[in-house]
Amino acid sequence: SSRHFMAIGLVYDGHAQHFPPASARATHIETPERVSVIYRALGKARLLDRLTRVAPREATRAEAEAVHTAEHLDALEALADAEPSLRGAWRGGAGGGWSLGRDMFHDAQTACAARRAAGGVVALTEGVLRGEISSGFALVRPPGHHACEDRMAGFCFLNSVAVAARAALSPRGGLRRVLVVDWDVHHGDGTQAIFEEDPAVLFFSLHRFGRGFFPGTGAASCVGGGAAAGRTVNVPFRREGMGDAEYLAAFDALLLPIARALPSSSSPPRAHPRLARDWAESRREPSIRSSSSSRPASTRRAATWRTSRGAGAGPLPDSSLPPSSPPGG
């Protein structure tokens, strides 16, 4: 039925949380409130009772090892017995380990929270594959897209989206191709590195780029390698102020044509690196900001849910919409 088709899943894990050390708890940006405020916004918008709750679970060792090295997972497990602290990134291999820095933090719950975040995304994916829900949203932390197969960085310990994609591509999942679309303001360097030679995955990222913006990766010239050449698509925005209008135009001009080409060809259109670069660099900073650019993240998430249910998130100002086709297109 249409009602069943519109069933949207929600994973929210308010229990397995990890916390910054007390000295940084008031100022660190990656805290439990980052997801709890979104959950409360969904409730305030009266959306929670219209969502299908999916129980979170921990990702198994086998599911995580489909993406990460055994050394990576062992280092994550060791955090359960380590003294809570602020650190830099962790990298495996010769001369690896934790670097100096203060952006990453961990406590006794970090490993469990990371497994439950990844497992929650897998659980949603399995629900879609079984036909129980049509789509879903994993409201979980810690985040994941900066985690590489042998690196923990940027608040990320396990790459949840990559773990779910590999689960979907497994014999049990049954898929032959997966499209990963990453529209976080930061480039998903971990996700790109994991899939850059995997022809079964098309990775599409829109992000700020240049002028020292973290993590410094995601140039349009990075297109994947080997049998997966052409299956990494980066849209690097070099200007601030990009909002709904610019992202929707990028989906229309770049993402949809490339994604639609996949079923009928062995590789996406090879002209996309120049197209993505030229299109992204041509975007002007809008004179009228799109309607979500000044809204807090919790309000934007609620608008996303309304849109996914066909209710609409509110009009975009027509005068802020850029051309839907790239220059010369």
pLDDT in tens, the chain (329 residues): 444 456 999 999 877 678 888 888 888 888 888 899 999 999 999 999 999 999 999 999 999 999 999 999 999 999 999 999 999 999 999 889 999 888 899 999 999 999 999 999 999 999 999 999 999 999 999 999 999 999 999 999 999 999 999 999 999 999 999 999 999 999 999 999 999 999 999 999 999 999 999 999 999 999 999 999 989 999 999 888 888 999 999 999 999 988 888 766 666 655 566 666 665 665 543 322 222 333 455 555 555 545 555 554 444 333 333 333 333 33
Q: Which backbone phi and psi does 281 adopt, to 5 degrees?
A: -75, -15
What are 181's strand-pairing partners?
204
Q: 102: Cβ–Cβ under 8 A, 6 or more apart, which residues?
A: 24, 86, 87, 88
Instruction: Report helix angle 110-129 to 160-169, nearest 10.
Output: 40
Q: Which two tokens stand for residue 38?
A: 């979104």
Residue 278 is predicted with a pLDDT of: 63
The pTM for the full model equals: 0.83
Give catalytic status of residue 146 as yes or no: yes
What pLDDT shows up at residue 180? 97
> Which pLDDT score, from 0 to 100, does residue 102 have?
85
250 and 235 Cβ atoms separated by less than 8 Å: yes
Residue 137 has a pLDDT of 93
Scored b (16 or more CB within 10 A) or e, 88-126 reads ebbbbeeeeebeeeeebbbbebbbbbbbbbbbbbbbbbb
Token digits for 77? 């497990």
Q: How far is CA 90 from CA 86, 141, 162, 170, 293, in A?
A: 12, 18, 18, 28, 33
Say what the pLDDT of residue 243 is.
87
Instruction: Extract the tokens encoding 216.
Output: 């410094």
72, 146, 187, 207: the active-site residue: 146
Cβ neighbourhood burial of 11 (10 Å; 0-12, 13-18, 19+): buried
Distance CA 116, CA 2 (A): 31
Q: Are the C-beta atoms of 229 and 267 separated by less than 8 Å?
A: yes
Structure tokens at 321: 């919409």
